[in-house]
């Protein structure tokens, strides 16, 4: 929570769509003492949310000061327009992961332009439904806010306060910028992960057996549900296709260069080297966490002894230091309790952490 950063949004807030995100927003608002009304096409979902303390089921006389539409992108424009006519003075916002098309749909269907402002809290999960919601899901996350050229300042302000009341950090950009950004960093990578994983379908079982951590990392998100992703990719189709075209172009160059190398033109490998080097440069631009300054974490590698409980002992030891653990990767070896653990930390914490772990008898890699 970051309540000190702003005044809480003025309720009552009507949340339409009590899935994971909608219910989490409702719980966060309740945590801040804001009145919340709940509505869902599936009354059972709304009741689950209400039973969790997310607010009250909206009745026919509801008069929300702000409406949050948390339904799939394909339906969001329609629901915003309906809310606009039902609640003639409320701020209208949504939380879908595609912005230009949703706002255009809402305006085309008659939503009041001055009260409409798009939003997208950046907190995905690989689960869904009200029962998975949490009041702290959005704490310290970015929440992108996309006003239109018509949005009035008071409604824009209300969207910001919604975000900060939920514990998130509002960041403003245009709807078109938002859609290109998420196409680049989320939607196209999702499809790429699926396409790579799809290449494994017809492979010999012996081939797949030798897969290592790299392939596992690259195909993890290919396990995500296809229904929501179909919806997202369909609604943000053109920006995603633009990113894919860039990827295809680079892959074609690399594949051509490799064919040339295979037929004896060894100098063509320079094209591949350049792409590998460009990849390392691009990689270095990714921030370590949502919104933090880009930073290359340093890794401290520890080889765990093959005994039960070593992982617990390691993390207990890390916890006794002041070092903040940014990430963890475990590289297992076949059939054993443990393996190599890579702890990602800020570069200036490496010496402290290595010394602390060595002094506790851990096998820290040089």
Instruction: Choose between 90 and 163: whose C-beta lies nearer to its own copies.
Output: 163
Report, in Å, the least distance between residue 22 CB and its own copies: 17
Report, in Å, the least distance between residue 324 CB and its own copies: 7
| 3-class DSSP state of 261 | helix
Report, in Å, the least distance between residue 334 CB and its own copies: 4
Instruction: Choose between 340 and 350: whose C-beta lies nearer to its own copies.
Output: 340
Q: Give strand ranges (E) for the chain.
A: 13-16, 36-39, 56-57, 66-69, 91-94, 116-121, 142-147, 169-172, 298-303, 327-332, 339-345, 363-364
User: Nearest 5°: phi and psi at 263?
Assistant: -100, 15
Report, in Å, the least distance between residue 200 CB and its own copies: 4
Please state whether the peptide bond connecting residue 12 to the residue before it is cis, i.e. omega within 30 degrees of 0.
Answer: yes
Report, in Å, the least distance between residue 72 CB and its own copies: 13
Q: 107 with 92: CB under 8 angstroms?
A: no
CA dihedral angle for residue 121, residue 124, residue 130, residue 135, rounded to 10 degrees: -60
Give the CA distances from residue 289 to residues 118, 296, 303, 327, 342, in Å, rounded to whole numbers and listed in that order. Answer: 23, 11, 26, 10, 17
Report, in Å, the least distance between residue 268 CB and its own copies: 9
Report, in Å, the least distance between residue 184 CB and its own copies: 6
Instruction: Choose between 86 and 251: whose C-beta lies nearer to its own copies.
Output: 251
Report, in Å, the least distance between residue 221 CB and its own copies: 5
Instruction: Choose between 88 and 264: whose C-beta lies nearer to its own copies.
Output: 264
| Other Cβ atoms within 10 Å of 233 Cβ, number | 20
Cα end-to-end span (Å), the chain? 40
CA dihedral angle for residue 174, residue 180, residue 185, residue 190, rounded to 10 degrees: 130
Strand partners, 36: 13
CA torsion sign for 313, 314, 315, 321 is positive
Report, in Å, the least distance between residue 203 CB and its own copies: 6
Instruction: Choose between 106 and 302: whose C-beta lies nearer to its own copies.
Output: 302
Report, in Å, the least distance between residue 168 CB and its own copies: 9
Instruction: Choose between 245 and 355: whose C-beta lies nearer to its own copies.
Output: 245
Instruction: Choose between 107 and 221: whose C-beta lies nearer to its own copies.
Output: 221
Copy the structure tokens of residue 238: 């053109």
Instruction: Choose between 84 and 219: whose C-beta lies nearer to its own copies.
Output: 219
Give the CA distances from residue 283 to residues 32, 133, 248, 274, 290, in Å, rounded to whole numbers and listed in that order. Answer: 38, 32, 18, 14, 15
Copy the structure tokens of residue 82: 């309906």
Q: 233 with 255: CB under 8 angstroms?
A: no
Instruction: Choose between 67 and 232: whose C-beta lies nearer to its own copies.
Output: 232
Instruction: Choose between 152 and 295: whose C-beta lies nearer to its own copies.
Output: 295
| 3-class DSSP state of 10 | coil
């Amino acid at each position: 929570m970051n309540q000190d950063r702003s005044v809480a949004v003025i309720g009552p807030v009507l949340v339409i769509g009590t899935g994971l995100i909608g219910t989490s927003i409702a719980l966060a608002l309740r945590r801040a003492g804001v009145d919340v009304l709940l509505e869902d096409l599936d009354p059972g979902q709304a009741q689950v949310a209400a039973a969790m303390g997310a607010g009250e089921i909206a009745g026919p006389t509801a008069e929300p000061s702000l409406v949050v539409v948390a339904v799939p992108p394909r339906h969001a424009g329609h629901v915003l327009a309906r809310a606009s006519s039902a609640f003639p003075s409320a701020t209208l916002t949504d939380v879908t992961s595609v912005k230009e098309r949703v706002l255009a749909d809402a305006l085309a269907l008659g939503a009041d332009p001055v009260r409409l402002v798009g939003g997208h809290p950046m907190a995905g999960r690989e689960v869904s439904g009200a029962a998975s919601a949490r009041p702290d899901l959005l704490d310290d996350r970015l929440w992108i806010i996309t006003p239109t050229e018509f949005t009035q300042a008071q409604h824009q302000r209300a969207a910001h306060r919604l975000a900060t009341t939920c514990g998130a950090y509002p960041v403003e950009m245009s709807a078109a910028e938002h859609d290109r950004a998420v196409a680049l960093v989320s939607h196209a990578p999702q499809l790429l992960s699926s396409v790579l994983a799809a290449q494994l379908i017809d492979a010999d079982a012996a081939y797949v057996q030798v897969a290592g951590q790299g392939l596992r990392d690259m195909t993890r998100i290919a396990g995500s549900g296809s229904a929501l992703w179909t919806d997202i990719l369909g609604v943000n189709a053109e920006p995603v296709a633009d990113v894919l075209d860039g990827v295809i172009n680079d892959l074609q160059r690399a594949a051509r260069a490799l064919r040339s190398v295979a037929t004896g033109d060894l100098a063509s490998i320079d094209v591949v080297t350049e792409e590998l080097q460009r990849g390392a440069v691009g990689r270095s631009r990714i921030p370590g966490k949502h919104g933090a300054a880009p930073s290359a974490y340093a890794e401290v590698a520890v080889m765990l002894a093959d005994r039960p409980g070593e992982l617990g002992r390691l993390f207990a030891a890390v916890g006794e230091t002041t070092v903040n653990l940014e990430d963890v990767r475990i590289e297992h070896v076949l059939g054993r309790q443990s393996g190599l653990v890579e702890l990602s930390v800020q570069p200036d914490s490496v010496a402290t952490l290595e010394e602390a772990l060595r002094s506790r008898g851990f096998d820290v890699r040089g």
